[in-house]
Every structure is written in C-alpha cells, then in structure tokens.
C-alpha cells in the first residue's frame, strides 16, 4: 500500500492538452529529459508526477533545465522595470518582485511561460489551509499551530498587496490592471510560490578574519522551476535538485526501479509544515520528520502552579523576564527522537528550577561560567535521556505537554483518543474528505509525539 505524500488531484480532462503543450515547450526551451523517465498522472500518487521507464542508477541525471527557462524577477518580461523600481518593492517576505512577475506572466497571452503556467488554469487544485474557511481551520486544526500561522499569513498578504503591490500596479496600467490583478489572484499566487517554487542555496563563503562584523546573509529569492515542480515529495526521496552556473539538474540519489515514481524532497518537513505551505501531508507513520510544538507559555503556566507566596511569584517573574529576553521562539520543538530545540529547553529548565541563591549567582555571573556541552544536552533531552532527567525537570515537561494535548480538538489527554480510533478505522477514514484526512494526519502525528513525551517524563 502506498504511503507517499499526496498533492490534490487535478481534473482528468484538463490535464491532457496542457501537459502535451508544456512538454513541447520544454523541448523548445532546451529542457533535456532523460529517456528513462516520463511525466504522467497515471501511476503517480497525485496530480502530475514523474515515473521511471527503466531502472535508474544513483547519480544519473533525470533532466536538465537551462537557467533561461526559469521564471523569476530577472527573467520575466518586466524584469527591467522591477530592477529600476526595486526600492519600491521591498517587503518582509521578499517575494513581491517574483509575485509581480507572476501576476504579469500568468495573465499575458504572449508570455514566454504560458505553456508552463497553463498547467494551473485556476489554482483550484491548491488546497492550502489559507483557502479553507476560518471556521473549518479552527475546527479541524485546533491545537496544531496552523490556524494562527494562516491568520498571520493572510494579514501579511493583504498588507503587502494593499501597501506595496496595488500602488505599484496602478502606477503601471500598461502592464497590470487592478481589476484583473486582484488580492484574490495575488493570494493564489502566494500559495503557488509556497507550493512550487525553489530557492537556490547560499554559496558558502570563507570567513574573513579581518572583518569583525559579520554581515547578515540575505536568502536568495524564490524562483519557479518548470519540470522540477512536477515531482511529488516524500521524506524518503530518490532524487534531488542540484544547482550549477548554467543549469539545474535533477539527480537520482538512490536506485529507482522501472515503474517507480521519482520523488524530490522539499526539505525536512513535518506534516504541519507540509499542509501549511504545500496543501498535503504524508500518511502516518511515513513522515520521519514529523514534529510537535510545546508552547513556551505552557511551561510558564506550569511553573506558576507551584507559586505559594508573593516572594515565589516575584522570583518566577524575574526568571521568566530574563529567559524571554534570550529566547524569541514561541515553542519548544520535539521530533520522533527527542527535543530539536534542546539548548533552549535546557536553559529554561535549568533557570526555572534554580533556588533563589542559585539564580542570584547566575545573574551576577551573567550566565554560566563555562559553556554547556551541547552533545550532553542533546543526549539528555533525547528519548533515551528524558527518563533520567531530574524529577523537577521531568514534571515541568510533562505538565507542559499535558496542557498542550488539552489544546487539541476534543481536548483529550487521558484514555481513548478519537483521532487514534479514527486512524485505525479504515471504513470511517475513507469517508473523510481530503481536508479532514490531511488535518487528521497533522493532529494524530503531533499527538503521538506529545503522548510519547508524557510517557518518558512520567515521574
């Protein structure tokens, strides 16, 4: 039985002609496709995909895409204007130039990339939670962190469009039209970029000893890579995209047998990230990268339960204020094998469990005199090390995990979990719609990690 991640299916009829035109265009622009692979929907796990015609060995190049075929702010027909007025397009996302390029190219009948963009006739196949109703998000994804992330996304998208994009397109009516290039289309294109774009890795630069101030590296902007975005994702992928000065190459990273699907990877993505950014999930338990967040606020709620006097209250508040100054993340992240933010969690646990005298000494020394052994910390907060922690530390983690579990849909913490029952009931599972199934995969995967964490920290 296949357990790979699924992208939403496309309409059976609309695929044929657009796909044929796209493949002809690929040939015209110099995309070189190995004779051992082909693009299809039949036999793939979802939507378009790539299959092996023959056995493929590790290291073989599956296809090569010249950089001239990539779609981004430097290759678009409006690249000169975007470069000239670059200062007007600065935003926190850094995506505005690409999105303006896509707004123009997607609606232009003369676009060089029309055969490529025609694969997405109306973006109805995009099913990110940002396209669900707020009520549906809150009902199906409560506790997962996705509803809050989507609310932030939608607010940022609206602000970016209203403050930057709309004034710009009004300034250039010969290229854009506010009645066509609407907030709705802009939002769809944001989702399109989230799901299908690629970012070129930063080049490693040698350290300059003379330069004392290290400049903050700015991530390369995203780009659309025709053909590469036809591949579906699984965590146990068999191909990987490589970047060279002249082209991008999809290279086989482990043997692929004839008839098997070729899978790329979008990175080490938990199901929560996959659903939020790509609109799909990997069925449990195949996603080895699944994670669950324990909100820092739940640790605070737990430590406050032990307050017995005003002096205790003052000490807790002092500790918490100091910790929040050194930790800007909102949650501690746990994976299938332990804590992934172990250094931060270790600091919180150590400080919160200090006596008044220990905390005073800690403040006077402005921290620990010697750096902590990161390897020891990582081991201590792994699944193997958690049961051996101090009782006070285990209790904090356990209670924070319990409060996190309560935040999910239904709020179960003990006994039977309805999601677990549903996962084991194939008949009931088959009756769920796509959104319900994806939400279930996220909830269940996270709750399994949290329940395991509670077991390991039970005193």
For residue 205, what pLDDT is reported? 59
pLDDT score, position 371 = 63
Cα-Cα-Cα-Cα dihedral sign, residues 172, 173, 176, 178: positive
> What does the angle CA 117 – CA 123 – CA 126 come to, to the nearest 5 degrees?
120
DSSP 6-63: -PPP--TTTTHHHHHHHHHHHHHTT-EE-TTEEEESTTSSSSSEEEESS-B-TT-EEE
Q: Which residues contact 412 (CB under 8 A, 6 or more apart)?
A: 405, 418
pLDDT, tens digit (0-9, with 9 covering 90-100), for 83-122 = 999 999 999 999 999 999 999 999 999 999 999 999 998 8
Is residue 97 a contact partner of residue 85, using CB atoms and an 8 Å limit?
no
Q: What is the pLDDT of residue 448?
A: 96
Residue reference for tokens 């004392």:
212
* Residue 156 to residues 130, 138, 428, Cα–Cα distance (Å): 12, 19, 38
SS3 state at 256: strand
Measured distance CA(311)–CA(295) in Å, rounded: 26
In sequence order, the 6+-apart residues with CB closer than 8 A to the CB of 31 are: 63, 64, 65, 66, 69, 226, 227
Round the CA-based radius of gyration of the chain to a whole number and report it: 25
The candidate with the shortest Cα–Cα distance to 422, out of 434, 408, 406, 440, is 440
Dmax over Cα atoms in the chain, in whole Å?
76
Question: Are the CB atoms for 275 and 193 separated by under 8 Å?
Answer: no
CA 72 to each of CA 69, 107, 140, 223: distance values in angstroms, whole numbers, following the listed order: 10, 15, 35, 5
Given its phi and psi angles, is residue 26 left (phi above 0), alpha (psi -120 to 50 degrees) or beta? alpha
pLDDT for res 375? 92
DSSP code string of 348-392:
HHHHHT--HHHHHHHHHTTS-SS---HHHHHHHTBTTTGGGS-HH
Laid out side by side, the sheet with 292-295 consists of 292-295, 331-335, 338-339
Q: Do residues 275 and 442 touch, judged by C-beta distance below 8 A?
A: yes
Q: Which helix (H) or strand (E) holds 262?
A: strand 261-264
- Let me know: does 2 contact 45? Beta carbons within 8 Å: yes
pLDDT at position 215: 44
What 8-state DSSP symbol labels residue 335? E
Q: Tokens in use for 439? A: 């939400």
Peptide bond into 285 cis (omega under 30): yes
Q: What's residue 290's pLDDT? A: 97
Walk along the chain (459 residues) and give the pLDDT tens digit of each residue.
344 444 544 444 344 589 999 999 999 999 999 999 999 988 887 778 999 999 999 999 999 999 999 999 999 999 999 999 999 999 999 999 999 999 999 999 999 999 999 999 888 889 999 999 999 999 999 999 999 999 999 999 999 999 999 999 999 999 999 999 999 999 999 999 999 999 999 876 555 444 444 445 567 899 999 999 999 999 899 999 999 999 999 999 999 999 999 999 988 999 999 999 999 999 999 999 999 999 999 999 999 988 888 888 999 999 999 998 877 779 999 999 999 999 999 999 999 999 999 999 888 887 665 567 889 999 999 999 999 999 999 999 999 999 999 999 766 555 558 898 999 999 999 999 999 999 999 999 999 999 999 999 998
pLDDT at 178: 98
Q: Which residues contact 323 (CB under 8 A, 6 or more apart)?
A: 347, 348, 351, 352
Q: Which pLDDT value is given to residue 106?
A: 97
Q: Which of 316, 304, 303 is nearest to 356 (CA)?
A: 316
């Amino acid at each position: 039985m296949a357990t790979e991640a699924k992208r939403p299916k496309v309409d059976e009829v609309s695929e044929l002609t657009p796909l044929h035109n796209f493949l002809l265009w690929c040939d015209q622009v110099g995309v070189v496709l190995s004779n051992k692979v082909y693009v299809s929907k039949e036999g793939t796990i979802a939507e378009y995909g790539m299959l092996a015609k023959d056995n493929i060995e590790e290291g073989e190049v599956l296809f090569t895409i010249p950089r001239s075929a990539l779609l981004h702010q430097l290759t678009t027909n409006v690249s000169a204007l975007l470069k000239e007025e670059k200062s007007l397009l600065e935003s926190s996302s850094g995506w505005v130039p690409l999105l303006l390029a896509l707004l123009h190219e997607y609606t232009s009948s003369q676009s060089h990339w029309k055969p490529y963009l025609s694969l997405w006739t109306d973006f109805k196949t995009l099913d990110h939670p940002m396209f669900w109703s707020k009520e549906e998000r809150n009902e199906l994804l409560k506790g997962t962190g996705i509803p809050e992330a989507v609310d932030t996304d939608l607010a940022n998208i609206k602000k970016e469009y209203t403050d930057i994009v709309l004034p710009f397109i009004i300034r250039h009516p010969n290229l854009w039209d506010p009645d066509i290039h609407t907030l709705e289309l802009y939002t769809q294109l944001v989702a399109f970029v989230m799901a299908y774009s690629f970012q070129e890795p930063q080049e490693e630069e040698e350290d300059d000893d003379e330069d004392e101030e290290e400049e903050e590296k700015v991530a390369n902007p995203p780009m659309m890579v025709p053909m590469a975005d036809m591949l579906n994702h699984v965590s146990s992928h068999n191909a990987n995209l490589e970047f060279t000065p002249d082209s991008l190459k999809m290279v086989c990273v482990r043997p692929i047998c004839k008839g098997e699907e070729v899978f790329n990877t979008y990175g080490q993505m938990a199901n929560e990230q996959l659903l939020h950014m790509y609109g799909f999930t990997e069925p449990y338990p195949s996603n080895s990268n699944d994670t669950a967040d324990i909100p820092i606020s739940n640790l605070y709620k737990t430590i406050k339960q032990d307050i017995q006097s005003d002096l205790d209250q003052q000490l807790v508040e002092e500790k918490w204020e100091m910790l929040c100054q050194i930790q800007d993340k909102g949650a501690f992240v746990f994976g299938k094998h332990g804590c992934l933010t172990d250094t931060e969690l270790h600091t919180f646990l150590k400080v919160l469990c200090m006596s008044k005298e220990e905390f005073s000494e800690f403040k006077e020394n402005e921290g620990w005199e010697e750096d902590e052994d990161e390897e020891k910390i990582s081991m201590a907060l792994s699944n193997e090390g958690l049961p051996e922690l101090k009782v006070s530390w285990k209790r904090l983690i356990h209670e924070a995990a319990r409060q996190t579990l309560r935040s999910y849909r239904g709020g179960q913490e003990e006994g039977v979990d309805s999601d677990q029952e549903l996962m084991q009931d194939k008949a009931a599972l088959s009756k769920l719609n796509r959104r319900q199934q994806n939400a279930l995969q996220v909830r269940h995967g996270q709750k399994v990690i949290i329940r395991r964490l509670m077991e390991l920290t039970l005193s």
